[in-house]
Amino acid sequence: MTRGGQNTARLIREKAAEFFFQKGYDATTLREVAAAAGLKVGSLYNHMASKEDLLLQVMGGAIDDQMELQKLALAAPGDPVEKLRAVVDCHVRFHAERAKEVFIGNTNLRALPDGAREEIIAKRNHYERVIQSLIEQAGEAGLASVIDARLHTYSIVALGTNVASWYRPEGRMTLDEIVAAYTKFALRELQVSDADQRVDAARELVGARG
């Protein structure tokens, strides 16, 4: 696909996400999406097979981006807790910055056909297994107190969902402050002895890099 075609496809997904978020998937028509993207309805089919396929592109694109950010966070140097800190940071940050797509993904899974739904679920499960593995490693290394790794994972995943439901850029706290606070919550829950120091040190390092 040419760069122009990629840009058009991205624009279609962005406009679709806005309508799916504001009106709901069922109430959105392809004609509305096409008009918002400055296209004729027929032109949409150069970039998708159906409305369901468009929903999959929106949801799949979001989870793919989320998994890529998690992969980059895993590359952070340090012990399992430091990697977990980086993963929680990107998890909360993604949910705040991509709240519309998060909402769409959480409310429209059933609208996908079986194969597409299973694809999204498999990716989500992989994403969560990465978090659970880090929690288990931290516990085994004696760096965290783990009651049940799976339940701790659910708790961390829920932090992102919670932030996506209320975060506003114009709020009383900056996104960096919110991410730091929620990351401390997650590490404190695991009784990481130096939870706050780890988060603060990471913020200072980012600040020093400019």
pLDDT tens column, 104-129: 999 999 999 999 999 999 999 999 99
Please name each of the domains of the chain with its CATH number. Answer: 1-48 (1.10.10.60), 52-209 (1.10.357.10)
Give the percent of the chain with pLDDT over 90. Answer: 87
DSSP state of 111: G
The alpha helices in the chain, defined as continuous H runs, are 3-22, 30-36, 41-44, 51-74, 80-97, 99-107, 114-140, 149-166, 175-189, 195-209
Burial of residue 105 (CB within 10 Å: 0-12, 13-18, 19+) is: buried
DSSP state of 148: -
For residue 45, which of 29, 34, 58, 56 has the smallest C-alpha distance?
34
Among 2-6, 110-114, 133-137, which stretch is predicted with the lowest mean pLDDT? 2-6
Angle of the 3-22 helix axis to the 51-74 helix axis, nearest 10? 100
Burial of residue 147 (CB within 10 Å: 0-12, 13-18, 19+) is: exposed
Per-residue confidence (pLDDT) for residue 173, from 0 to 100: 95
Structure tokens at 64: 């793919």
Per-residue confidence (pLDDT) for residue 3, from 0 to 100: 63
Which residues make Cβ contacts (< 8 Å) with residue 89, sequence separation at least 6? 73, 179, 183, 202
